[in-house]
Structures are given as structure tokens and as C-alpha cells.
């Protein structure tokens, strides 16, 4: 009897990404470390240009690469490679048909169990598909309708981490080619979404061996929400699969884009939002999250200045002996927009004199030629200093502006014209501060953008002494 060992199966691990930077490269290295014994490739979507991948084997593809191999490229609603997340596998199969197991891993997945080992188990046990949550799709699932006319029973699966045997992948490719022909001939109207297509085809064929990924490790954090910080994933020691795992900037951005994002939850130290953001760099949270919180306070808690000041941190102190006489005074503006807090110019403009410095816009005009905002100081004042607090996310839009003063809102005097290209800040402690050598007597102040655009500032402060009219 021969003692010759059976040859090891060939396993390809394909790290799928459309972006590349140091954070993604670090996550890719983790996946490669979990793929020892397999061939590792970065499956690089370069539809929008080359990705600077240097330390990994790269398999490039773009949206235009699939029609030449027979796949429909009219599908996907303008987002071909998101809707058809399985497409890159078929192009890889055409070029590399000699692997036994194909593993596709999204760029925001971290695994703490060897993917090569699972691939070898799949080959030894003739497993054709390993994915997460392979179940009959409920009718209310948004993608159910894309497979309803094609399959007696539509299934769904989460495929950020997917194991396929050669014969299963070849079957899927053949089926996509057949559906492509029928779709182009208008024999079918619906095009199945990838997370419906893969499990519905494999389960429906009745001849493939299917297993749940949870049999190989903890999948409790393998879903589309909530996101997980990469440093949190790095601390996991037991066999697990996690997604989406993000660096700090992407983690914060994911929360801010989510419909579940409620900035005021940040105030509650027990909330998931607060705990996650507390693990991020303070400067990042201060730049992106705190302005959101303060803006929400502006909308919900007008008048509660103490909470806002506590979150805002260090701001320039008021000039000695002077008060902000614009606080709470009547204001108006040239127009309102869909971004305005209210539809009335006076109500929208009032946000800039409510005392709440948040880093976001307090009012927002429409896009027009030289839009303006103005405040009525409710009496003559000797103005000595004016401060403009900019919105922090679009500071460049207020780059070129003028300050004008008036006693009666009919005749206006130019006080300052800012023509340089320097941006000024606000919540970061760098507002535009205009100190007047000689105090100016006025009742009305106008801020005017000196070019077409939208005017939107955070806060306007006017430091002055009231003038008592002569008897």
C-alpha cells in the first residue's frame, strides 16, 4: 500500500476591493495572514482608475470587462459591480480555471480562522458553498422580487465571505451566461441580485453540498450593520468572521451616512454610538461628530447654551467690557433654500444669532448672485469687533465676502471686503475676527457673499456699546 500523501487542494483567496490606502492594505495583510497555504490575490475593481497596490498579487478588473466574456452589463442599475458582486469571480475563473476552491472576501472582512484550512475542509468534504445565513428569502426582502420569476423558492445569503467549489462556481458562471442571453433577448425582465442569485441557484439545483459559515466560526458580527472598528476586531482571539471592519475615518463616515445615525445619542455615555466614537481619535470626533451633535442641539434645544459651550470647547473669549449685541436680535437674509431650517427668511436667519456655535450652518440661502444675511441691532451701537463663525465642512464657500453697515437699511457703507483665498474657521477657534481701529456707529450689519453661490455661516457676533440717543 502506498504511503504517498494526497495532493493538497488548490485554494485561491480573492480579496475584493474598489479602494486602496494604508488602512485597506493593513486589513488585506490580515486576510493574507489568515490565508497561509492558499494563493492570495487582491481582486481590484479599477473601474475608476488604477489602485496603487504594490505588495500583493493583483487581479485587475473593471466594469467593461464582463460583456466580452458573455455577461450582461446592462444590469445593476448603473452600479454593475455592486449589484453583481459575483461577477469578478467569473473573470478570475476564466483566467485561473485550475483552483479547487475559490474564496471571495470583501475588503472590510476580518477572519481569525484560517481561510485556507476551511478551503481544505470544503474540498475534503465535497462542500460546494459556504456562506452566511443561507435561508429562504422572505417576501419583504428588498431583493426578493429580482428572483421571484426565476426560482420556485428564492433564497438569500450574505456573501461578504464566500467559499465556492470549482464545480459550483462553473455552474454559476454557466447560469449567468444563460440568463445574460435571455436578458438581452428580453425573455426575462428581472435580473437577480447577487445575494439572491448565488444561493438560489446552488440550493435550487439540488446537487450541491451547502454549509453555513457559522459552522466554522463565530458569525455574530458578520452582517451589514453595525460597523466595527479595526482595533476592536484585532482583539478577537476566538475563531470568528467580522464585517464591516473599518478604520476610524470610515467607521465615523459609516455612522454619519446611516439612517440610524442620531447625533444626540453621543451625549449618552451608555449608547453604542458614544462607546464606538470614544474609541476614535478625539480630533476626528471633534471635526466630524461634535458639529453634528451641536447642530442637532441647535434644532432641538434652542436656549440651552451651557451644553453647547461644554461640547464646543475652547473658543476665543469675548473682548473685555463688551457684549455680543447681536445675540437674539432680529435677522433676515436674501433667500431660503431646501437646506434651510425653516421656510421663512427671518426664522432661518435667526439661527446665526442664537449663541450656539456648532460647526454646521445655522442658516442657508439659495444659490444666487451675491446672497446676503443681515441683523438689526435694535438701536444705534458703536461697533468695535465682528466675528464670523464658519461652517466647518464647507469653509471655502465663504472665502470672498463683504461686511456692510447701515443706520437705516437704505444707505450701506462698506466696512470690509475679504478678497484673499484664505479659509477661516469657527468651532475650531479660528473665526474671522474683524477688529476696528475706530468704532463704527451703526444699527444694521449685513454679510454679503461677493460672488454667485450659497451663503451659510454658523454664527455672527457683534461686540459693541449701545449709544443712548440724545434727549
Percentage, residues of the chain above pLDDT 70 = 94
Give residue 73's pLDDT.
86
CB 33 within 8 A of CB 115: no
Q: Give the domain 11-234 fold.
A: Spore Coat Polysaccharide Biosynthesis Protein SpsA; Chain A (3.90.550)
Q: Rounded to an integer, what distance in angstroms lies between the CA atom of residue 336 and that of residue 343? A: 6
Give residue 407's pLDDT.
92
Helix (H, G, I), strand (E, B) or coil at 45: strand
Give residue 307's pLDDT.
55
pLDDT > 80? residue 306: no
Q: Using 50, 70 and 90 to split pLDDT, how confident is the model at 344?
A: confident
Q: Rounded to an integer, what distance in angstroms lies between the CA atom of residue 330 and that of residue 309? A: 23
Give residue 111's pLDDT.
97
Give residue 314's pLDDT.
67
- Do strands 155-165 and 101-106 pair parallel, antiparallel, or not at all (unpaired)? antiparallel
Give residue 2's pLDDT.
47
* Burial group, residue 413, by CB count within 10 angstroms (0-12, 13-18, 19+): exposed
The three cell numbers of residue 407 are 443706520
Q: Which residue has the higher pLDDT, 449 or 224?
A: 449
Q: Using 50, 70 and 90 to split pLDDT, how confident is the model at 1?
A: very low
Q: What are the residue ranges of CATH 2.60.120.260 in the chain?
A: 318-466
Give residue 427's pLDDT.
86
Q: Over the chain, what is the mean pLDDT?
A: 92
Helix (H, G, I), strand (E, B) or coil at 5: coil
Q: Rounded to an integer, what distance in angstroms lies between the CA atom of residue 132 and that of residue 405? A: 66
Give residue 391's pLDDT.
92
Over range 4-27, report the average pLDDT. Answer: 91
| Cα 347–chain centre separation | 31
| Cα 354–chain centre separation | 30
Least confident segment among 24-38, 168-182, 341-355, 438-452: 341-355
Instruction: Enumerate helices (H) and strands (E) in the chain, giving the number of each.
Output: 12, 20
Question: What separation in angstroms does the CA of 109 have from each of 45, 81, 257?
Answer: 17, 18, 20
Give residue 79's pLDDT.
86
Over range 434-460, report the average pLDDT. Answer: 96
* Burial group, residue 310, by CB count within 10 angstroms (0-12, 13-18, 19+): exposed
pLDDT > 60? residue 302: no
pLDDT > 60? residue 324: yes
Q: Using 50, 70 and 90 to split pLDDT, how confident is the model at 4?
A: low
Q: Give the domain 318-466 fold.
A: Jelly Rolls (2.60.120)
pLDDT tens per residue across span 216-235: 999 999 999 999 999 999 99
pLDDT > 70? residue 372: yes
Over range 294-306, report the average pLDDT. Answer: 64
Look at phi and psi of residue 180 and say left if phi exceeds 0, alpha if psi is from -120 to 50, else beta.
Answer: alpha
Give residue 293's pLDDT.
84
pLDDT > 90? residue 150: yes
Q: Which residue has the higher pLDDT, 287 or 352?
A: 352
Q: Using 50, 70 and 90 to split pLDDT, how confident is the model at 250?
A: very high
Q: Using 50, 70 and 90 to split pLDDT, how confident is the model at 317?
A: confident
Least confident segment among 284-288, 291-295, 308-312, 449-453: 308-312
Q: What are the residue ranges of CATH 3.90.550 in the chain?
A: 11-234
Question: What separation in angstroms does the CA of 382 have from each of 376, 430, 431, 444?
Answer: 14, 24, 21, 11
Q: Using 50, 70 and 90 to split pLDDT, how confident is the model at 249?
A: very high
pLDDT tens per residue across span 89-128: 999 999 999 999 999 999 999 999 999 999 999 999 999 9
Q: Which residue has the cell 475593481?
A: 45
Over range 129-145, report the average pLDDT. Answer: 96
Amino acid at each position: 500500500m502506498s504511503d504517498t500523501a494526497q495532493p493538497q487542494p488548490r485554494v485561491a483567496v480573492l480579496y475584493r476591493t474598489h479602494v486602496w490606502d494604508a488602512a485597506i492594505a493593513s486589513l488585506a495583510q490580515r486576510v493574507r495572514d489568515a490565508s497561509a497555504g492558499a494563493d492570495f490575490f487582491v481582486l481590484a475593481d479599477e473601474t475608476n482608475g488604477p489602485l496603487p497596490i504594490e505588495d500583493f498579487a493583483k487581479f485587475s478588473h473593471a466594469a467593461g470587462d464582463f460583456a466580452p466574456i458573455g455577461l450582461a452589463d446592462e444590469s445593476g442599475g448603473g452600479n454593475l459591480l455592486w449589484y453583481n458582486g459575483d461577477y469578478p469571480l467569473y473573470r478570475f475563473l476564466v483566467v485561473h480555471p485550475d483552483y479547487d476552491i475559490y474564496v471571495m472576501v470583501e475588503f472590510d472582512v476580518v477572519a481569525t480562522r484560517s481561510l485556507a484550512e476551511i478551503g481544505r475542509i470544503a474540498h475534503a468534504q465535497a462542500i460546494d458553498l459556504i456562506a452566511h445565513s443561507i435561508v429562504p428569502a422572505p417576501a419583504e426582502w428588498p431583493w426578493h422580487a429580482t428572483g421571484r420569476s426565476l426560482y420556485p423558492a428564492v433564497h438569500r445569503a450574505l456573501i461578504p465571505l464566500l467559499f465556492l467549489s470549482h464545480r459550483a462556481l462553473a455552474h454559476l458562471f454557466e447560469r449567468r451566461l444563460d440568463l445574460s442571453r435571455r436578458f438581452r433577448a428580453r425573455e426575462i425582465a428581472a435580473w437577480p441580485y447577487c445575494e439572491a442569485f448565488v444561493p438560489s441557484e446552488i440550493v435550487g439545483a439540488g446537487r450541491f453540498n451547502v454549509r453555513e459559515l457559522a459552522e466554522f466560526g463565530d458569525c455574530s458580527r458578520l452582517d451589514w450593520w453595525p460597523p466595527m472598528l479595526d482595533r476592536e476586531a484585532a482583539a478577537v482571539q476566538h475563531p470568528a468572521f467580522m464585517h464591516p471592519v473599518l478604520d476610524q475615518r470610515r467607521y465615523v463616515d459609516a455612522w454619519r451616512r446611516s439612517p440610524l445615525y442620531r447625533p444626540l445619542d453621543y451625549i449618552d455615555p451608555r449608547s453604542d454610538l458614544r462607546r464606538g466614537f470614544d474609541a476614535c481619535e478625539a480630533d476626528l470626533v471633534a471635526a466630524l461628530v461634535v458639529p453634528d451633535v451641536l447642530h442637532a442641539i441647535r434644532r432641538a434645544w434652542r436656549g440651552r447654551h451651557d451644553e453647547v459651550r461644554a461640547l464646543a470647547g475652547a473658543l476665543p473669549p469675548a473682548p473685555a467690557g463688551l457684549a455680543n449685541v447681536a445675540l437674539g436680535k432680529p435677522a433676515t437674509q436674501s433667500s431660503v433654500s431646501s437646506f434651510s431650517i425653516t421656510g421663512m427668511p427671518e426664522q432661518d436667519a435667526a439661527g446665526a444669532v442664537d449663541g450656539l456655535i456648532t460647526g454646521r450652518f445655522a442658516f442657508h440661502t439659495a444659490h444666487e448672485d451675491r446672497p446676503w444675511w443681515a441683523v438689526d441691532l435694535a438701536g444705534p451701537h458703536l461697533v468695535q469687533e465682528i466675528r464670523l463663525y464658519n461652517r466647518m465642512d464647507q469653509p471655502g464657500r465663504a472665502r470672498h465676502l463683504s461686511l456692510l453697515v447701515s443706520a437705516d437699511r437704505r444707505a450701506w457703507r462698506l466696512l470690509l471686503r475679504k478678497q484673499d483665498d484664505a479659509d477661516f474657521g469657527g468651532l475650531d477657534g479660528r473665526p474671522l475676527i474683524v477688529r476696528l481701529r475706530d468704532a463704527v456707529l451703526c444699527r444694521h450689519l449685513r454679510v454679503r457673499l461677493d460672488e454667485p453661490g450659497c451663503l451659510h455661516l454658523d454664527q455672527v457676533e457683534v461686540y459693541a456699546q449701545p449709544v443712548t440717543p440724545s434727549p
